[in-house]
Structure 1
Amino acid sequence: MTTTGFTDSSASQLDGSGFPGFSEDVPLDLSGITEGSERALLARLIDRTFDDFADTAAAVGYCSHPIRLVGHSDTVDPVTGEILSSFSSAEAPLGVLYRPCGNRRADVCPACSRVYARDTFAMIKAGLTGGKTIPDTVAANPLLFTTLTAPSFGPVHGPRARNGQKIGGRCRPRDKTPLCVHGRPVGCMAIHDDHDPRNGTPLCDDCYQWQSAIIWQWWAPELWRRTTTAIRRAIAARLGLAEHHLRQVVRVEFTKVAEYQARGQVHFHVLIRLDGPDGPGSPAPLDGDQLGACVRNAVTGMIMEAPPVDDHDQARILGWGTELDVKVVRDGNRTDDPDRPLTPEQVAGYLAKYATKDANSIRPVARPPAHLARLEATARDLGRRALRHDPVSPYRLLGKWAHMLGFRGHFSTKSRHYSITLGRLRRARHRYRQLVARAARLGEPVDVSQIEDQLLADDVETTLVIGSWHYQGTGWTNPGDEALAIAAAARAREYGQWKASKINNW
């Protein structure tokens, strides 16, 4: 099986005839549709534009909030100046050109976030096992799966492990229940499950360091940047090299995603790979355990000073939390050990899943938890204080990121040479669609398994597209269209999961 963000070489082996969602007895789930949307869908059937909508929805991958464009474009041969083809939005099925919104957040657009997750999975997996322009020999390089957490800003409620299980233990058991300075218990004998609304909430709101929690969140991207430098220095020291000579012997590559914890702080899941001097796939001078020791030393010793917000604030010393987890996925000697708890595919899927989430992933839609609302309010207040104190303060944009609880970093990042870029995968998918459309017009078959190198080629296009396009708006103009697109996207996800399960069982 070849898993990519734009093609699947096993698709020809599955016609979908066994998928239960293709049956007429299993309609799309429109149980939550409003009366107005239902009338709009009926209007589509009456005026016979439903087929036009269906074609448009399929073209944008059942995006929930597609972008509407009006205009025209010409495809020109750059050598002769000949116009090879022309296209106008008036020729589109609905008279407007619809394009996918491309939002990575699953709570905003399930369809586009799924595409983003698949691209992220392909990008991560290529850096683990090769493919997509990365040599297969990269599968032998040492690899770590590391989780870095935020420090504690005060005790909070949450599930606790017991007897090897993630839940079942008491929250904060105490033989005697002493009180904090504000008269509240410092212990909790409750057993919280994963869905307990108290998870992440402080035992005492007045003891909790709300401002420090936001300041740490604001500087978390910079803390990670400095940590990568510290890891390289630790490796250089272990090899007895000067830091500026390190790239002549070894290269450190990584990819990471951020995930919000129930208390509102992000933690980072990171894949760290060690390559030789010639890049991905070249032999590394350390094994996984030695690399893990360097990472632990760098993380535990990493601190940085955060400046005060204003004259009424103070500087803070920031570092990582004590819950550091460093697992060796590969040690550089074997890659086929069935007793290892992690596989590259598992890790890639895990990281891709979290790449589509943000702060909203821990916010119930109906009623956000009070502690998250207070963190957001604290971020806005600190941003206002920073602006009053100094217009060029490093915290001047903190209020803008209050909805993210102060975190301003990208949720998915990678080092330059870890793997293929997401942009290159998007270009390949665009070329693939063009190739399929051309083959359909000419009645020619397309052998997907034979064209991957052509799709991923980083060459210059042989044609020039000149056009004039204008933004008309975002979203479906018919209220029933969005409901149907979301339902169709859900069915497409079900089909994708069904197809993957069939392939994996072969």
Structure 2
Amino acid sequence: MTPRGAAAPIAPEPPGSGPVATADDAISFPAWERELTSTGTCSHPIRVHGRIDAIDLATGETAPVFKTWTEITIPQTGDTVRIGEPVHVPCGNRRETACPSCSQVYKRDARQLVRAGLTGGKGVPESVATHPCVFATLTAPSFGPVHSRRVRGKTVLPCRPRRDGKDRRCPHGRDISCPTRHVEADPRLGRPLCCDCYDYQAAVLFNRHAGDLWRRFTTYLPRHLARLAGITGKQLRAELRIRFVKVAEYQARGVVHYHAVIRLDANAKTGYYPPPARYSAALLADAIALAAKAVRLDAPTGRGPRIRLGFGRQVDARPIWRDPVAASGQPLDAGAVANYIAKYATKSTSVPGLPAARIRHPGDIAALRCPAHHKRMVTSAWDLGARDATADPRLRLWSHMLGYGGHFLTKSRRYSVTFGQLRRARAEHRRLERYPDGERDPWGRPLDERVVLVLAHWTYAGTGYRPRTPAAELALVSADMARGD
């Protein structure tokens, strides 16, 4: 960046240090720092113009509180012009690939949300830690043989060993055995051994109806829990309520599966109370396995018979104790579960070449430079959304997400604190930092919404920092630091 000629250097330039630092640069750096602080070093902030006014409800008098411009009158013409810069607000994107800074805030909020429902805090009593609680993983069924990493203890096993020569080839004549012991970074993981054997339609439809399968699961779970407890469903609903929080994660093959924390509470209108003693975590784990196996849904294809969908046979339901040991050798406590779920709350499809925005035209699919497996899933989602197929517009809207258009983190209403409550508490904390003696209205009185009405008017002015500004460069550096680059 070439310094302006009117600015004087504040220090001689060391050899090879780049452009000379100027007095103007030194004066404007605090402004850049304040700008980045207000957005939390967001990579793609939203620019807005507007103002905030206060109205005295008793007298009707209006006074300005804040505005993004300054009005200047030109003496020669008498015209009034507005001069000012827009305000930058963080984008709030949860995806780590889109904005590392905002995704870190979302991840920390998700961790507090999950942890509060396990150990208490944020308005939830600590006694909730004694309630029966299970960490469950519901996966998708098999749609065809794929490369996978099989581990037994600390030993990595061969991917798909075949001892019988007759079973080495599929109906299309391809060898579907793989003796390789894959490493974690192997790009072949999740790719089918035979693309013609892989059921792409069923895989895309599973992603599309994964949310419907989960809703049916939450309907069947109380029924199986009541059957195992030897009571009726009506009696079960009178005694307890099932609370949960879940996240969706993409597997290497491009199909989603769910990680969920499921807890039992007593049926109470207010507060968090433990259920009767006969409802244990082991009983809940058995009911989860039975309910997951019972879930079925017939998805239309348009051109052929309906495809029956359900969760896979690998249903992992483990009670969350105080000092249990998971398969990895790490304790499966509340903190570990909260960290695990929060990690996936900011993840999305990490396949290189997949677009971050929606696909608008079939030509965009042909131009994709992603693996052939995921390109076929995008194509299948686009074709299934056609009028002569399912005519489901969501399949085309979410074809870039391989058919999945649901939320990546959802919870039941009374599981714990909400994202909105956490954000309001953070905003109140920042307000107290800025106004330690209390915020005052334009007339010098303590701000009281019963006395003064505050009105805000904002208009969209663009996305991102202004090009080639120091604030934009600092935001990029902060994003790299958040990624760990």
Is the TM-score greater than 0.5?
yes
TM-score, normalising length: structure 1: 0.78
Cα distance, 1:304 vs structure 2: 1.8
Q: Does 1:437 align with 2:458?
A: no
Q: Is the 8 A contact 2:53 2:65 kept in 1?
A: yes
Q: Aligned partners of 1:282 and 1:318: how far apart in 2?
A: 36
The equivalences for 1:477-492 within 5 A come to: 477-480=466-469, 481-491=471-481
The equivalent of 2:15 in structure 1 is none
Structure 2 counterpart of 1:23: none
Deviation at 1:338, TM superposition (A): 8.3
How big is the shift at 1:294? 1.1
> Structure 1 residue aligned with 2:36, among 57, 73, 84?
57
Among 289, 296, 301, which residue is 1:309 paired with?
A: 301
Corresponding residue for residue 243 of structure 2: 253
Partner of 1:324: 315
In structure 2, give the amino acid aligned to 1:141: H
In the TM superposition, 1:154-173 aligns within 5 A as 154-162=144-152, 164-165=153-154, 168-173=156-161
Q: Match of 1:421?
A: 418
Instruction: Confirm or deny that 1:281 pairs with 2:283.
Output: no
* Aligned counterparts, 1:221-370, within 5 A: 221-278=211-268, 281-285=272-276, 286-306=279-299, 308-310=300-302, 312-330=303-321, 335=322, 341-359=331-349, 361-363=350-352, 368-370=370-372
**Does 2:124 correspond to 1:134?**
yes
The CA deviation string for residues 300-336 of structure 1, in whole angstroms up to 9 with x for no partner, is 2221222x221x2211111111111111103xxxx46
Query: What are the within-5 Å matches in structure 2 for residues 105-254 of structure 1?
Result: 105-162=95-152, 164-165=153-154, 168-177=156-165, 178-254=168-244
Which of 376, 379, 389 is residue 377 of structure 1 equivalent to? 379
Alpha-carbon displacement from aligned partner over 1:378-410 (angstroms, at most 9, x marks no partner):
1111112xx2457xx4x2321110011001110
The answer for unaligned runs of 5 or more in structure 1 is: 1-37, 443-458, 495-506
Relative to structure 1, is the Cα distance of residues 287 and 358 closer, same or farther in structure 2, using a 3 angstrom cutoff?
A: same
Q: Which 5+ residue runs of structure 2 have no aligned equivalent?
A: 1-17, 71-82, 355-367, 440-447
2:398 aligned counterpart, secondary structure: helix
* Structure 2 SS opposite 1:258: strand
1:7 matched to which residue of 2? none
After superposition, the C-alpha distances for 1:424-468 in whole angstroms (9 at most, x for unaligned) are: 1111111111111112899xxxxxxxxxxxxxxxx9888532122
Aligned with 1:439: secondary structure? coil
| Structure 1 Cα separation of the partners of residues 451 and 103 of structure 2 | 31
Higher RCO (CA < 8 A, seq sep 6+): 1
Relative to structure 1, is the Cα distance of residues 287 and 400 closer, same or farther in structure 2, using a 3 angstrom cutoff?
same
Structure 2 CA distance for partners of 1:80 and 1:282, relative to 1, 3 Å: farther
Aligned residue for 1:49, secondary structure, equals helix
* Count of residues paired in the alignment: 426
* Residue range with higher mean Cα deviation, 137-146 or 425-434: 425-434
Residue type of the alignment partner of 1:484: L
Flag the structure with higher helix content: 1
Q: Percent identity?
A: 41
What's the offset of the Cα at 1:84? Answer: 7.0
Larger radius of gyration: 2
For residues 110 and 75 of structure 1, do their structure 2 counterparts lie closer, same or farther at Cα, with a shift above 3 Å needed? Answer: farther
Cα distance change on mapping 1:479 and 1:155 into 2, 3 Å: farther
Contact 1:380-1:398 within 8 A present in 2 as well: yes
Task: Identify which range, 55-64 or 128-137, moves more after superposition.
Answer: 128-137
CA distance in 2 between partners of 1:54 and 1:140 (Å) = 46
RMSD after superposition: 3.0
Aligned-residue offset at 1:490: 4.8
TM-score by length of 2: 0.81
**Match in the other structure for 1:473:** 462
Secondary structure of 1:424's match? helix
Equivalents in 1 of 2:257, 2:21: separation in Å? Answer: 47
